[in-house]
Amino acid sequence: MQPVHRSGSRSEVSARLQVRSTTVFFLLDEVGGVSVAMPMPEVPLGLDPVRDYWTAADLDHLPENGIRYEVIGGQIIVNAAPKPRHQWLIKWLVRALDAVLPVEYYCVEGVGVLIGDDEPIPDLIVGRGTIPMDDNGIAAEHVVLAVEVVSKSTTLTDRKMKPDVYAEAGIPNYWRIEINPFKGRLPGEELPVLFAHVLGENVGYELTHRVSAGQSVTLHSPFEFTVDPAALMP
């Protein structure tokens, strides 16, 4: 068992994202080793630059231009395109999970989670029940696991903002996977590193496992799953 880390509240997420109405459209980028939300120099067609509150429903009116839009804390965020390393790991993690999923579970990638007016998009989710094939997203109450693979451009959201939102929504499990060198990496710790969290009693996530490449660990929540992060990379 690893030391407990509890996430903050969703109100704290909103506070961190509160900005002037003219800078509500963000591109997450890396500045000095830290991911920050940068105001876009040009607002794409379909976006109103003076809006101060966005909802998941607003995403239906945005252009289908291949850009992934998310709404977190009433603000709209777009991430830089992921690199092949990021997508490779997700592909093999989906395959590994599909091989052991109990019959009532399903695994999908790149689908939004509906949390009130917000719609964050985890890299991968595991849901329970019937897949809502034609819905705009999956309601948080049907999600048992959210997974984020940290890119340089998503460090802030994946480590701080999204865990807070997922925890307050009651999603029982959160996995964060580090594929790049990161602050706090232990000596000799090989990448990638999986951080597995479960929802604690005080609406915050508790770290249960820290698994580096070359280690094989069996996780028991939301179901039994044995993983060595090294097997997820070429």
Of the listed ranges 48-62, 137-151, 185-199, 200-214, the one predicted with least confidence: 48-62
Determine the average pLDDT of the residues in 137-148.
97
* 5 domain-assigned: no
Segments of 85-136 assigned E as strands:
105-109, 113-114, 124-128
Number of domains in the chain: 2
> What pLDDT is attached to residue 81?
85
Same domain, 108 and 132: yes
Residue position matching structure tokens 């998941």 = 56
Q: Which of 119, 108, 132 is nearest to 162 (CA)?
A: 119
Q: Note whether 219 and 151 are same-domain residues.
A: yes
Q: From residue 149, give the alpha-carbon distance in Å to each of 107, 108, 157.
A: 15, 14, 11
pLDDT at 59 over 90: no
* Residue 128 belongs to some domain of the structure: yes
Mean pLDDT of 77-92: 92
My answer on whether 98 and 204 are in the same domain is: yes
Residue 142 has pLDDT above 80, yes or no: yes
Kindly give the pairing relationship between strand 113-114 and strand 124-128.
unpaired
* 35 and 126 share one domain: no
Q: Sign (positive/negative) of CA torsion 120, 86, 167, 100? A: positive
- Chosen domain end from 59, 78, 97: 78
If asked whether residues 142 and 73 sit together in one domain, one would say no
Q: What is the pLDDT of residue 19?
A: 34
Phi, psi of 225 (to 5 degrees): -150, 115
Average pLDDT across the chain, whole number? 83
17 and 117 both lie in a single domain: no
33 and 130 housed in the same domain = no
CA 176 to each of CA 59, 112, 123, 145: distance values in angstroms, whole numbers, following the listed order: 26, 17, 10, 11
Q: What is the pLDDT of residue 188?
A: 95
Is 122 in the same domain as 139? yes
Q: Helices then strands (H, E): number in the chain? A: 4, 14
Last residue of a domain, one of 78, 110, 135: 78
Please check whether residue 3 lies inside any domain of the structure: no
- Domain hosting residue 155, numbered range: 84-232
Confidence of residue 109 (pLDDT cuts 50, 70, 90): very high
Give the model confidence (pLDDT) of 147-176 as tens digits: 999 999 899 999 999 999 999 999 999 999
- Mean pLDDT lowest for which of 63-77, 87-101, 148-162, 211-225? 63-77
Q: Which residue has the higher pLDDT, 124 or 53?
A: 124
The predicted structure's pLDDT at residue 158: 95
Average pLDDT of the residues in 99-122: 96
- Percentage with pLDDT > 70 across the chain: 78
